[in-house]
């Protein structure tokens, strides 16, 4: 072997050793790695925002909003998120979030969230159908679980609808608090329990006293003796019926027998009675 060949071989061996040696100084800092993962959809960031029931953590990524939680602190929220979704998560500064994220806090306050993007990739197609249908319920109105089941074409799946809402990863923004039992009892709520559910509905203008009174009398719908249209009690149009023109109704069959037709806004459905132990949201 010539001297030149020996030198070349030494250089080659040195280069191989350098390639095999971890280049720690070449790694980006952890914060930068997180932001790169966020930008390609492999990690989520989160913001701490105000809501009608207090501060909440809102997780989001390039696809949309992925979670809402009211954990004790950031560490608890991060741990719960990683356990639920199996993805990295890190805090975002407001100016680091996508432009559409500026709409989140106003949406939390107004209850108008239809225009926000959501990331529901961890939900089944059935669960997604339930959640997107729930998203259409306007602020100030409630719908029975049976209504959601009928709207997604699964009228017998009332219990499954309740279970899907119990697993809603994005409460508040996907308003599962607006879904109640067929007798208008509120049921539970995954984001702080029934007290938070009651508070949210009252803030949005739902007349809970009226609902309780109607439930006691077995009334499920309200009809107008002027238009002969019947609605769910919290429907925008039902609230406009003058007291002297209100016709209480217990079922769609009774409404049809008396010559009433269903409202096109709230689309009243035939209530399906639920077992008392229904696992509600």
Query: Annotated active-site positions, please?
Result: 176
d(CA 83, CA 90): 14
253: left (phi over 0), alpha (psi -120 to 50) or beta: alpha
Query: In whole angstroms, how far apart are CA 162 and each of 71, 76, 169, 195, 220?
Result: 23, 26, 14, 18, 19
In this structure, the number of other CB atoms found within 10 A of the CB of residue 10 comes to: 10
Nearest Cα neighbor of 108 from 44, 203, 205 is 203
Q: What is the DSSP string of 91-159?
A: E--GGGS-GGGGGHHHHHHH---TTS-B--TTS-HHHHHHHHHHTTSPTT--EEHHHHHHHTT-TT-HH
**Rg of the Cα atoms in the chain:** 27
Could you say which DSSP state residue 68 is in?
Answer: E
């Amino acid at each position: 072997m010539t001297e030149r060949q020996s030198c070349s071989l030494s250089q080659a061996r040195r280069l191989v050793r350098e390639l095999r040696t971890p280049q720690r100084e070449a790694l980006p800092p952890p914060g930068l790695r997180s932001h790169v993962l966020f930008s390609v959809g492999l990690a989520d960031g989160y913001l701490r925002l105000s809501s009608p029931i207090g501060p909440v953590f809102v997780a989001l990524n390039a696809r949309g909003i992925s979670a809402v939680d009211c954990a004790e602190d950031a560490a608890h929220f991060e741990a719960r998120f990683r356990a639920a979704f199996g993805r990295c998560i890190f805090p975002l500064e407001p100016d680091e979030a996508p432009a559409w994220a500026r709409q989140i806090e106003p949406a939390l306050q107004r209850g108008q969230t239809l225009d926000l993007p959501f990331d529901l990739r961890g939900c089944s197609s059935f669960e997604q159908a339930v959640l997107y249908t729930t998203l259409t319920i306007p602020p100030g109105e409630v719908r029975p679980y049976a209504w959601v089941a009928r709207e997604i074409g699964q009228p017998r799946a009332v219990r499954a609808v309740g279970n899907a809402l119990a697993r809603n990863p994005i409460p508040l923004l996907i308003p599962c608090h607006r879904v109640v039992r067929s007798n208008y009892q509120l049921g539970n709520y995954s984001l702080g329990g029934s007290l938070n559910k009651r508070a949210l509905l009252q803030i949005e203008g739902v007349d809970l006293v009226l609902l309780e009174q109607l439930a006691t009398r077995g009334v499920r719908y309200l009809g107008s003796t002027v238009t002969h249209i019947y609605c769910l009690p919290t429907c925008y149009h039902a609230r406009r019926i003058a007291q002297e023109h209100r016709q209480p109704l217990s079922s769609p069959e009774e409404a049809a027998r008396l010559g009433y037709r269903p409202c096109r806004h709230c689309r009243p459905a035939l209530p399906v009675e639920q077992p008392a132990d229904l696992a509600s949201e």
